[in-house]
Structure 1
Amino acid sequence: MSAPGTGASGPAPRRRGRPARTEATVGPGARERILAAARTEFAERGYDKASIRGIARAAGVDPALVHHYFGTKEQVFGAAIEVSFEPALNLPDLLTHGADGIGERFARYFLGIWENPATRAPLIAVIRSAMTHDTAAKVLRGFVLRRMLERVAAELAVPEPRLRAELAASQLVGIAMLRYVVQVEPLSSADPEDIVRMVAPTLQRYLAEV
């Protein structure tokens, strides 16, 4: 005689191992949930302490699915960086209007991304991770060089365009670090338009003057 709850009419025994492949865990939204969870994990725990297992748990998926979509933790971090910097990938559009005023357009667009709380939070998380872990710094550096600065440099009709693009980026990243991450005063509370006005001539010189 079967024990109570184990016969044909009783509930099936719980099976251990990989969760069931339901629409919630492998459906079209799973990849986006993993990316969102990864950004949160890297923001709250930093690159070193974040883990594939923790990202999977936060996304409600099996860790194997994270590996399936992204591979290693380094690759997950790279994907999170790309999503975080997605608004900034429109930078070449700023260059199609010619050299006149490019410094001001560049500065205003960059600060606009950081002034928006929705885009600022993941950017701060990315930079903090890069400051504390060599692998995260390498991934961020490769992304910035490959996806952003090389695209900007390709549009510049000036000598040494790659160097000039890097100089412009260093100016803006330095401002972002002091204003939004370290929060040094009076820069932290300065009016964004005042910053644009002061920084634009330097950027103009880097990006346009022959």
Structure 2
Amino acid sequence: MSEGEAPKRGRRRKGTADARSAIVDAASAEFLANGYDATSMRAIARRAGVDPALVHHYFDDKASLFAAAVEAPLKPQELVKLALAAPRDRIGETIVRLVVEALDAPAARDRVRQLVRTALGHDFAARMLRQFIVREVLGRIAASLDVPDAELRATLAASQIVGLMVIRAGIRAEPLASAPIDVVVARVGPAVQWHLTGFGPVDTSEAPGE
């Protein structure tokens, strides 16, 4: 840009104080307008008035940007990495422990509860949360396990995790809401493990309605 030339209107350059904040705000608006699956990094950049490269400067991928937009206490790539580092027969327990520890962390408790309660009150928000958990967390874990029906397994495991989030952090139903973490892990972990690794392929060739 030549001396005296004004920057393009609406474009924020790398290093400006409000660029990251504008990207997160734009991401929140895009996710709410279009859902998780249909939102692209380019669309977020366009709404924020920045170059797509600047979005990638601050955020590695859409999952990390979504986590920032909803102030998630645990980044999805960290959860996936830690889960897959566990022994194969302890992956379910590891996932549940990581999720519950994140839900119970004092610094994150209020915003996690608000996120879950928003999902409870709005079908669109609930669908977006499920899409995110299935695609970016459990879908990646199931795919890495090299098991049949990975997508179905991820969805079934997600039903356990989302249900746990709703009961423990959303509606705070007792005694699960205040049960010790070790108890929750011991009860829910095997169910998640079973969905991910514990049964053979499902034959859907004669599913009802086909």
Please give the range of the TM-score, normalised by the shorter of the 2 chains. Answer: 0.5 to 0.7
Q: How many residues align?
A: 164
Matched, 1:140 2:129: yes
Deviations 1:32-66 (A, max 9, x none): 33467789x99xxxx69xxxxxxxxxxxxxxxx96
Pick aligned residue for 1:180 from 169, 175, 178: 169
Give unmatched runs, 5+ long, in structure 1. Answer: 1-20, 49-64, 72-77
Matched, 1:81 2:62: no
Pick aligned residue for 1:153 from 142, 167, 180: 142
Q: Is contact 1:165–1:207 with CA below 8 Å preserved after alignment?
A: yes
Q: Equivalent residue for 1:67?
A: 48
Root-mean-square deviation (CA, aligned residues, Å) is 3.8
Fraction of identical pairs, as percent: 31
Matched, 1:119 2:104: no
Structure index of larger Rg: 1
SS at match of 1:118: coil
> Please, what TM-score do these two structures have when normalized by structure 2?
0.60
SS at match of 2:172: coil
The 1-side partners of 2:165 and 2:129 are apart by 15
Consecutive aligned runs of 4 or more in structure 1 exceeding 6 Å deviation? 35-39
Q: Which amino acid aligns with 1:68?
A: G
Deviations 1:153-202 (A, max 9, x none): 21123321211122112112111111111011111111111111111221
The 1-side partners of 2:123 and 2:132 are apart by 14
Give unmatched runs, 5+ long, in structure 2. Answer: 1-9, 34-45, 53-62, 200-210
Q: Equivalent residue for 1:18?
A: none
The 2-side partners of 1:33 and 1:92 are apart by 26
Q: Equivalent residue for 2:158?
A: 169
